[in-house]
Amino acid sequence: MNKSKKPVTSDKGNNEGFHPKEATVTVGNGGEWHQIATGDQPVLTTNQGLPISDNQNSLRANPKGPTLLEDFILREKITHFDHERIPERIVHARGTGAHGFFELTHSLEKYTTAKVLTEEGLQTPLFTRISTVAGGSGSSDTPRDVRGFAVKFYTKEGNWDLVGNNIPVFFIQDAIKFPDLIHAVKMEPDRGFPQAASAHDTFWDFISLTPESMHMVMWVMSDRTLPRSLRMIEGFGIHSFRLVNAAGESTFVKFHWRPKLGLQSTLWDEAVKIAGADPDFHRRDMFEAITTGCFPEWDLAVQLFSQEEADTFPFDHLDATKLIPEELVPLQVIGRMVLNRWPDNFFAETEQVAFCPSHVVPGIDFSNDPLLQGRLFSYLDTQLSRLGSPNFHQIPVNAPQCPFANHQRDGHMQMAQPTGRVAYEPNSLAIDSPHEQPVTGFYSTLIAESGAKGRIRAESFADHYSQARQFYCSQSSYEQAHLASALVFELSKLEHPHIRAAMVGHLRHIEEKLAQRVAFGLGMDDLPQVPTAAVAVQDLALSPALQLIGKMKDTLEGRMIGILLSDGSDAASIDEVKKAVLAEGAKVKLIAAKIGDVKLADGSMIKIDGQLAGTPSVLFDAVVILLSDEAAESLGNEAAAIDFVRDAFGHLKAIGIDNGGELLLKTAGITQDDGVFAVSNSLEHFIAASKTRQWEREAKIRTLA
Ligand code: HDE
């Protein structure tokens, strides 16, 4: 018997790994795999269950001869490998998923029959996938991009998919424009670049010719598209949906996810550098949070309103380029989502999960938003092409967790084996077969429709600038500067000056000063002409709730602090900083010039988490530099150390120092400001400052538009 715990491998071509008498066989069971026999290690088999004696050598005619076609084991293995990839999502290809639950804390019984929204205290299992939009599945986590926010609730009454984004509005009003929008933003077809970037001609060409996108463009150019963590973004269902109660009355609803950790973003320069330092920054952050028990959490809130109320809004709520300010219709928190389980297998779950906005439960219905109406078709279609079969609902991550049965049969990769001769309804031959449920089943709300059929856009959709203006004007001055600078960066990348000019023309409708800032940043001598607007731009009431800075939380929870140290660093200082940071719910990583152990001044050894060159300060929310004088002097000749402190300072982070740290800052040419603290006497101030950014520093170190 093989007692070794080591994997059984052989490069000698012998049979030492195979022990037929104690073979462990692995069998499939509706998509799950079970070990059914004993032994130290499972036996490696083909997909037909044949034990394999040699997994190192293919079958050759002689030791130096050609490989034989007869080698069915080689062919099965390679063929399977050749087919490992399925088409990636045409949008939202790069995503991070996790399991969790939704707990209802406030019943909406008055408005809906949906049990997931009426049974207080009920915990509904769910799977959530957060994604970028434009890049391929292997692209980095931190481009400037919208984040998809899709949640599949496995309710008692079937799956409910709430497939939203981290921005409450969208680029276009009508689904028929979606392929154009996506073709414009994705890599240009003749050259195959840029990957995961909107800073190129085709995107801005399309946008400049599509005024309805201006509101969304304001959001996309804000720091909302540069999240610090996926745990620190909001989610929005975007469209109006309907809730329908037992009396058949319907109420409009907008869904909002609110992160418990508050909102937090990176700076643009930081996001760019993170992409190099750790392309998996967001996925790793989520993985580390969930696997260490710091479960990400969001509140679910709703905005509820009637048709009569909607008629008084100065915009049309069926237009997905508009939002309903919280000041107009307040948010009501009705429950919370906790993500507490990382998937066992990325492909099986995160890649194969199939969301469809058409997956609703009784008591939830659609509105006439023309973007939503198009999506109701698109997602089912895309699953057929990606997952290759109308049986995609049988894949465990997609399968409802309530009983489900109907008379649909057969098809590619059918896993179910229904019995009996009846596969139709109505029938009298199998009274226990699935029958429709007129009372509790899903029904579509009765809505009277009138008007002329045609390819016509409602006049109420014509105002493209007022909410863009409201968004920009509601931002803090720091956020306005970031937004203007983002526009300068993106438009500066264009080869075609006429697109630049067209964009600045649109900005003049939104806010004249914004247009001036961007034009100045782009080196334009004169402001371009203002394009004709279909309707006059309105001055809507400012909405402070649209700020990101306003929604940052005064907390270190979920944050990461980096301590740069060296041989000879002071053990007591390290200990004090660590304790203070951990007490606030943040995590600490220790960085030194070399990986391994560092010998501190008191002779104790401490384990290092990251090597300096591979662990730059962009990976942290705040940093502490605790060095012996000698180490500070030698690190002064180390570009990675200079970059570490310069970037931390440039990214407006709080910096804690001791004498050695002060020396390194000096060598790096940094003039200390109010965001730099001696940890010996100002540790608590350092902690407080680490919860935010040193915004006042920015104007002194960076020219913003
Ligand atoms: Fe999507 N979208 N979309 N979308 N979308 C897809 O479905 C589509 C839109 C969103 O993590 C695709 O399974 C059309 C708005 C998310 O798996 C596809 C239109 C919003 C995800 C598709 C839109 C979204 C997708 C690609 C215009 C925010 C990722 C793969 C009518 C409310 C879900 C797939 C995941 C994915 C089509 C517009 C969000 C092709 C036609 C608006 C979060 O079906």
The 10s digit of each residue's pLDDT in 21-48 is 343 434 444 334 444 444 678 999 999 9
The DSSP bridge pattern shows strands 676-678 and 235-236 to be: unpaired
* Radius of gyration of the chain from its Cα atoms, rounded to whole angstroms: 29
Cα–ligand 1 centroid distance for 131 (angstroms):
10
Q: What is the pLDDT of residue 33?
A: 42
Closest CA to 195 of 416, 203, 40, 265: 203
Residue 553 pLDDT grade (very low, low, confident, very high; cuts 50, 70, 90): very high
C-beta of 170 in contact with ligand 1 (< 6 A): yes
Check whether 14 has a pLDDT greater than 60. no
Check whether 144 has a pLDDT greater than 50. yes
**Lowest-confidence segment of 34-48, 297-311, 469-483 by average pLDDT:** 34-48
Q: How is residue 449 annotated by DSSP?
A: -
Q: What residues contact 489, with CB distance under 8 A and at least 6 apart? A: 199, 268
**Tokens 């926010």 label which residue?**
149
Residue 422 pLDDT grade (very low, low, confident, very high; cuts 50, 70, 90): very high
Q: Catalytic residue numbers?
A: 92, 165
Closest CA to 616 of 586, 584, 649, 583: 649
d(CA 200, CA 88): 23
Kindly report the number of other CB atoms within 10 A of residue 115's CB atom.
17
Cα–ligand 1 centroid distance for 382 (angstroms):
9
Cα–ligand 1 centroid distance for 372 (angstroms):
10
Q: What is the pLDDT of residue 40?
A: 78
Q: Is the peptide bond before 194 cis (omega within 30 degrees of 0)?
A: yes
C-beta of 164 in contact with ligand 1 (< 6 A): yes
C-beta of 131 in contact with ligand 1 (< 6 A): yes
Kindly report the number of other CB atoms within 10 A of residue 360's CB atom.
22
Closest CA to 29 of 391, 342, 394: 394
Q: List the Cα angle 79/80/84 in 5-degree steps.
A: 120
Cα–ligand 1 centroid distance for 91 (angstroms):
7
d(CA 423, CA 200): 54
Structure tokens at 160: 């409910």
The 10s digit of each residue's pLDDT in 56-108 is 999 999 999 999 999 999 999 999 999 999 999 999 999 999 999 999 999 99
Closest ligand 1 atom, residue 374 Cα: 31
d(CA 681, CA 684): 8
Structure tokens at 207: 């946008």
In the predicted model, what is the mean pLDDT of residues 519-534?
96
| Ligand 1 pocket: which of 86, 89, 90, 91 to mutate (most atoms within 8 A of CB) | 91
In the predicted model, what is the mean pLDDT of residues 311-332?
97
Considering the domain 554-701 in this protein, what is its CATH number? 3.40.50.880
C-beta of 392 in contact with ligand 1 (< 6 A): no
Check whether 279 has a pLDDT greater than 50. yes
C-beta of 238 in contact with ligand 1 (< 6 A): yes
591 φ/ψ angles, rounded to the nearest 5 degrees: -125, 140
Q: What residues contact 307, with CB distance under 8 A and at least 6 apart? A: 252
Check whether 555 has a pLDDT greater than 80. yes
The 10s digit of each residue's pLDDT in 484-497 is 999 999 999 999 99
Closest ligand 1 atom, residue 375 Cα: 31
29 φ/ψ angles, rounded to the nearest 5 degrees: -150, 90
| Ligand 1 pocket: which of 86, 130, 163, 395 to mutate (most atoms within 8 A of CB) | 163
C-beta of 547 in contact with ligand 1 (< 6 A): no
Closest CA to 351 of 284, 393, 391, 397: 397
Topology of the domain covering 83-168+223-394: Catalase HpII,  Chain A, domain 1 (2.40.180)
C-beta of 127 in contact with ligand 1 (< 6 A): no
**Tokens 């203002």 label which residue?**
530
Structure tokens at 682: 């100002």
Q: Give, using CA atoms, the residue closest to atom 14 of ligand 1.
A: 375
C-beta of 91 in contact with ligand 1 (< 6 A): yes
Cα–ligand 1 centroid distance for 86 (angstroms):
17
Cα–ligand 1 centroid distance for 653 (angstroms):
36
Report the phi/psi class of residue 131: left, alpha or beta, with left for phi > 0 and alpha for psi in -120 to 50: beta
Q: At what angle do helices 497-510 and 214-221 cross, to 10 degrees?
A: 100
C-beta of 588 in contact with ligand 1 (< 6 A): no
The 10s digit of each residue's pLDDT in 206-251 is 999 999 999 999 999 999 999 999 999 999 999 999 999 999 999 9
E strands in 490-601: 560-564, 587-592, 597-599
Alpha-carbon distances of 182 from 168, 188, 189, 383, rounded to whole Å: 18, 11, 12, 18
What is the percent of the chain with per-residue pLDDT over 70, rounded to a whole number? 94
C-beta of 98 in contact with ligand 1 (< 6 A): no
Cβ-contact 94, 135 below 8 angstroms: yes
Q: Give, using CA atoms, the residue closest to atom 7 of ligand 1.
A: 379
d(CA 261, CA 280): 20
d(CA 163, CA 150): 4
Report helix, strand or coil for 244: strand
With b meaning 16 or more CB within 10 Å and e meaning fewer, what string describes 281-310? bbbebbeebbeeebbbbbbbbbbbbeeeeb
Cβ-contact 362, 113 below 8 angstroms: yes
With b meaning 16 or more CB within 10 Å and e meaning fewer, what string describes 128-158? bbbbbbbbeeebbbbbbbbbbbbbbbbbebb
Cα–ligand 1 centroid distance for 319 (angstroms):
17
Q: What is the pLDDT of residue 39?
A: 61
pTM of the predicted protein model: 0.94
Closest ligand 1 atom, residue 178 Cα: 27
Report helix, strand or coil for 699: helix
Cβ-contact 295, 334 below 8 angstroms: no
Check whether 13 has a pLDDT greater than 60. no
Q: Give, using CA atoms, the residue closest to atom 3 of ligand 1.
A: 375
C-beta of 321 in contact with ligand 1 (< 6 A): no
d(CA 654, CA 674): 9
C-beta of 357 in contact with ligand 1 (< 6 A): no
C-beta of 562 in contact with ligand 1 (< 6 A): no
In the predicted model, what is the mean pLDDT of residues 613-632?
98
> What are the boundaries of each domain within the chain?
1-42, 83-168+223-394, 554-701
Closest CA to 232 of 299, 296, 145, 162: 296
Cβ-contact 546, 681 below 8 angstroms: no
Q: What residues contact 560, with CB distance under 8 A and at least 6 apart? A: 586, 587, 588, 589, 619, 620, 621
Q: Give, using CA atoms, the residue closest to atom 6 of ligand 1.
A: 91
Cα–ligand 1 centroid distance for 133 (angstroms):
9
Alpha-carbon distances of 472 from 204, 221, 288, 481, 590, rounded to whole Å: 19, 10, 35, 10, 40
Check whether 359 has a pLDDT greater than 70. yes
Alpha-carbon distances of 630 from 229, 559, 665, 676, rounded to whole Å: 36, 30, 14, 21
Amino acid, single-letter form, for residue 238: I
| Ligand 1 pocket: which of 88, 355, 372 to mutate (most atoms within 8 A of CB) | 355
In the predicted model, what is the mean pLDDT of residues 261-289?
98
DSSP 560-581: EEEEE--TT--HHHHHHHHHHH
Cα–ligand 1 centroid distance for 132 (angstroms):
11
Report the phi/psi class of residue 182: left, alpha or beta, with left for phi > 0 and alpha for psi in -120 to 50: alpha
d(CA 486, CA 113): 45
Give percent helix, percent strand, percent coil of the chain, each to the nearest 5. 35, 15, 50
Cα–ligand 1 centroid distance for 150 (angstroms):
9
C-beta of 356 in contact with ligand 1 (< 6 A): no
Structure tokens at 420: 């009996």
Q: What is the pLDDT of residue 692?
A: 96
Structure tokens at 558: 């979920």
Cα–ligand 1 centroid distance for 667 (angstroms):
50
Structure tokens at 306: 């009637």
Structure tokens at 159: 């799956």
C-beta of 375 in contact with ligand 1 (< 6 A): yes
Closest ligand 1 atom, residue 95 Cα: 11
C-beta of 148 in contact with ligand 1 (< 6 A): yes
Closest ligand 1 atom, residue 90 Cα: 26
Q: What residues contact 543, with CB distance under 8 A and at least 6 apart? A: 325, 326, 327, 470, 471, 474
